[in-house]
Chain A
Amino acid sequence: MSEVKDPKCHALLGSLSDYVDGTLSEELCVEIDRHVAECQDCHIVVDTLRKTISLYHDSASGNLECPEAVRERLFKTLNLNDYIRH
């Protein structure tokens, strides 16, 4: 990609986020699909970028609660002790 200096690879870079999010126009999408099928480096960048985003996304799916002690101090700071649920 950066090494090859193919202008197509460079043009792809700016649209990558929209491409992996699926928010790109169909026309552009088809064009990029075609390029990625031919260019191994771009193919790798797209696959590993998708994986990077999904890893971070998945890492957030658990632990939605803050630690109990932190939560207790928060309620205390806000003078909401009467309402804390255990």
Chain B
Amino acid sequence: MVESKTEISVEALRSGNREEFARMVDAYSGPIYRLALKMLGIPADAEDVLQNTFLKAFQHVKDFEGRSSLSTWLYRIASNEALMLIRKKRPEVTLSDISPENDDNSDYSPAQFIDWHPLPEAEFLSSESQSIMDSAVQHLPENQRIVFILRDIEGLSIQETGEALNLSEAAVKTRLLRARLRLREELSVYYGERLKKGEKNERG
């Protein structure tokens, strides 16, 4: 997350300084919106999460003790809001779906062995490529999705991701590895096809 040029004063926030709060919203609304959009995939839902995040931040900032950074604290609220919305929209969820045992015991051994990484850069920049990448993230189980977004898209450290999600570093690492491997599989299917197509065209 980009820290604003002049540090936001937690002291001012806690004393209810509205101008300082507006500066915080300015600095963090972009990253929080992006997190919500990647997490939920629907702009209207992302906007709900964005608004609720800052409403909650406003209500609770007086209790913010600064044990984590301001950005990690905001990510924590936003992550909770996003996960709550996902679960609310899926009321048929059973207890086993959210129990830690189901963190994902499925086999995550690689099955795709096509070396697509040297494809021309333009392949990766197309809008089709972008939408494949977005939908691959959407296909992740939400507890892996949130870890991947915080760590690999927003660039939080393993420790900060753990603080934001109330998870141990070991749990963060396990979920991150599974998310990364799953995404690699899905991208390999798409880019593998692109690679074959390119080779066919070259042959003529």
Contact = CB atoms under 8 A, between A and B. Distances in A.
Contacts, number: 120
Interface stretch (B6-14, B15-23, B73-81, B98-106): B15-23
A70 to B, nearest CB: 5
Interface of A: 1-2, 10, 13-14, 16-18, 40-41, 43-45, 47-53, 55-57, 59-60, 63-66, 70-71, 73-75, 77-78, 80, 82-85
Q: On chain B, which size bracket covers the interface?
A: 35 or more
A56 B19 contact: no
Contact of B183 (A43, A52, A70): A52
Given A16-B177, A64-B30, A83-B18, A56 B110 contact: no
B113 A52 contact: no
Contact of B155 (A52, A57, A66, A78): A57
Contact of B115 (A44, A64, A83, A85): A44
B188 A59 contact: no
B109 A13 contact: yes
Contacts of A10: 109
Contacts of A13: 108-110, 181
B187 A48 contact: yes
Interface of B: 2, 18-19, 21-23, 25-26, 29-31, 33-34, 43, 47, 50-51, 54-55, 58, 107-117, 124, 130, 133, 137, 148, 152-155, 173, 176-177, 180-181, 183-184, 187-188
Q: Is the interface of B mostly helix, strand, loop or mixed?
A: helix
B188 A48 contact: yes
Contact of A55 (B33, B108, B133): B133
A45 B187 contact: no
B109 to A, nearest CB: 4
Nearest to A79: B18
Contact of B130 (A51, A59, A85): A59
B33 A48 contact: no
Contacts of B23: 83
A64 B31 contact: yes
Contact of A2 (B47, B109, B115, B187): B109
26 contacts: A10-B109, A13-B108, A13-B109, A13-B110, A13-B181, A14-B177, A16-B180, A17-B177, A44-B113, A45-B110, A45-B113, A51-B116, A52-B180, A55-B133, A56-B152, A57-B155, A60-B34, A60-B155, A64-B2, A65-B30, A66-B30, A70-B33, A70-B47, A74-B54, A77-B55, A82-B18
Given A45-B184, A52-B183, A80 B18 contact: yes
